[in-house]
Amino acid sequence: MDFSLAFTPDLIAVFLTLFVLEVVLGVDNVIFISILASKLPREQQAKARNLGLTLAMLMRVLLVLFAGWIITLKDDVVELLGMGFSWKDFILIAGGLFLVYKAVTEIHHKLEGEEEGHGDKREAVTFGSVIAQILVLDLVFSLDSVITAVGMTDNLLVIITVVVLSFGIMLFAARFIFEFVNRHPTVKMLALSFLLLIGVFLIAEGFEIHIDKAFIYGPMAFAIFVEVLNLSYAGRKAKRAKARTEAVKLRPRYSDVDEQVAVSAALSTGADAGSVGLSRKPVEGADSSHETRHGLG
C-alpha cells in the first residue's frame, strides 16, 4: 500500500468520488444504529448510540490497516487451471463477490423487495444485546466501506483520510444527509451501481486481469457530475413551476425494527431533532407524529 500523497488529477478524482460513496452508503449505518438504540430505555439511548458510532469509525480504520497488510500478500500459494493465486487474489475475488452480492441485493430490496409487516411480539432487549447487534452491523458496513475504498486506490493515506472525514461528517450531519438521500433516491441507486462496478473490477484484479483504474473512477466521477446537473435542473424546473417534486419511495431495508422513530428524528426540524448522530438526546425525543413512512435512503 502507498502512503505518499501527490495531488494529481487522478488522486483528486478518486478522493472526491470515494468521499461521496462513503457518505451516501454510510448514512444508513448511522441511521440504523440510531434505530437499534431507540429500542432501549430513554436513559440508555444516547450512551448506546454514541458508543456504537465511535466503534463504527474505529472498526473502519482497523479494517483499513488490516486490508493494507492483506494487499501485500502477493506470493502465489496455489495454482488453478494454470493460474497462480495469492492470498491477495483470493481476498480481492471474495471482496468483489461480496460487493456484487451486496449491491444487487440492496437494489432489489429497494425497488422490488417485499415490505414485511412488524409483528406484535417484541423481544426484551438489553444494553449488551443492542451493542452486540451494533458491532455486527458495524462490521458489515465497514467491510462494505473498506473493500470499496481498497478497490479504488492503493493509497492508504487517502483511504484513512476519506473514511475518517466522511464518517466524522456523518456523525454531525446525518440528519441533513439522510434528508437529501431520502428526497433524491437516484443518488442511492447511483452509489449502489458504483458498488457493482467496483466489485466486478476487484474480481477481475483477483484473476490478474488488470484494468486501468481511470476506466473505473473516471466514469464514476462523470456520472456524479451528470447527476448533479440532473438534480440542479429538476430543482430549477420545480421552482419555476412552484411545485414540489415527489421522489420515488424506496422500500425500507429493515423489516424487523420500527424505522419510523429514527427516521422521524432524522427528518424532524424541531428542537429535539438531530439525535441520530452524536448527541445526549434520546431518539424518542424527536417528533414521530408523521404518518408517512420513509425508507432508509
pLDDT in tens, the chain (297 residues): 555 566 677 778 778 878 887 787 777 777 778 777 877 888 888 888 888 888 888 888 888 788 777 777 788 888 887 788 888 888 888 888 988 888 898 888 878 866 544 444 445 678 888 888 888 877 877 777 778 777 777 777 888 888 888 877 877 777 777 778 777 888 888 888 888 888 888 888 888 888 877 787 678 778 888 998 998 988 888 888 876 666 677 766 555 555 566 666 666 666 665 567 777 777 655 444 444 555 555
What is the three-class DSSP state of 86?
Answer: strand
CB-side neighbour CA atoms (13 Å) of 20: 24
pLDDT at position 244 is: 66
pLDDT at position 230 is: 92
| pLDDT tens column, 104-137 | 988 888 788 665 444 444 456 788 888 888 888 7
Q: Are 275 and 286 in contact (CB under 8 A)?
A: yes
The secondary structure of 196-248 as a DSSP string is: HHHHHHHHHHHTT----THHHHHHHHHHHHHHHHHHHHHHHHHHHHT------
C-alpha cell at 137: 452491523
Q: Give percent helix, percent strand, percent coil of the chain, each to the nearest 5.
A: 65, 5, 30
pLDDT at position 229 is: 94
- Measured in degrees and rounded to the nearest 5, phi and psi for residue 2 equal -100, 130
Tell me the pairing of strands 76-80 and 83-86. antiparallel
In this prediction the pTM is: 0.70
Structural domain spans, the chain: 9-285
The Cα–Cα gap between 109 and 104 comes to 9
Among candidate residues 122, 139, 140, 113, the one with its CA nearest the CA of residue 59: 139
